[in-house]
Amino acid sequence: MSDVADLLERLGSPARATQREACDEAVTRLRSEPALRDTVRSVLRGANAVARFSAAWVLFHVERPTLRLLPALLDSLELRDGDLRWQAAQMLTALGRLQAEVLPVVLHEAGAAVSPARRRMAIFVLRELAPERAETGAVFLRALADPDDDVRRAALSCFAKLTDPDRALAVRALELARGADPDPRMARIATVVLPELAAFHPDLRGEIAVALTELERASDPSLARGAQAARQRLGNTDA
């Protein structure tokens, strides 16, 4: 087996240490062996998902990222290894800041990808890539009806990162704090984001204060503590 073939095999290794070492080696070699770049680029279209991630990672670090990396990065949002998923999300965010074509793709993936993991990670990418866009808030709002618990929690947790959240988001968070979702963790998350949303929608401040005061007496100790902390952050108001 040639050393190049060996390198390509190690890029797809399920052993994290082996895969990481191969990525670092590939970065070093591509800087001095430009002819190797086409070989690594061919891995982007291969069958091994980890190898596709590795190829995208290597190319991301040795040249200006292009849309050539997009399919591999999107697929990598579904990898089992959480560290690789987050690295893919970070690269996808950076690529989106360079290439405007990425944002509409990520918006679509957050709402329509078959894989729940892919939808959830796309939501996190949007949180960093386009928190100022109305389309991002709309995707987060729709995601609150997702059948997957993790996707719903991800969307709600990202409300507080939006730079201009729509009133509908605040209204829905208020409903969720009061138990509108069967997952009790949603109510806990909602109490955390409500004070930030109230800053954008002061007309809801009083209603939010009332809800948080009521939730301080919740039978769920975590929810009660969260509501108390949120109430303090909200500040004193007539309830």
Phi/psi region, residue 235 (left: phi>0; alpha: psi -120 to 50; beta: rest), is left
Token pair recorded at residue 162: 């939006």
The tens digit of pLDDT for each residue in 52-76 reads 999 999 999 999 999 999 999 999 9
Find the Cα–Cα–Cα–Cα dihedral 165, 167, 173, 176, rounded to 10°. -150
Share of the chain above pLDDT 70, in %: 98
What residue ranges do the domains of the chain occupy? 1-99
* Mean pLDDT calculated for residue range 96-105: 98
| DSSP state letters, 74-94 | HHHTT-S-HHHHHHHHHHHHH
The tens digit of pLDDT for each residue in 24-53 reads 999 999 999 989 999 999 999 999 999 999
Token pair recorded at residue 154: 């991800």
What is the reported pLDDT for 235? 81
Average pLDDT of the residues of the chain: 95
In the chain, the largest separation of any two C-alpha atoms, in whole Å, equals 75
Q: Classify residue 132 by its DSSP letter.
A: T
What is the reported pLDDT for 237? 43
What is the reported pLDDT for 12? 97
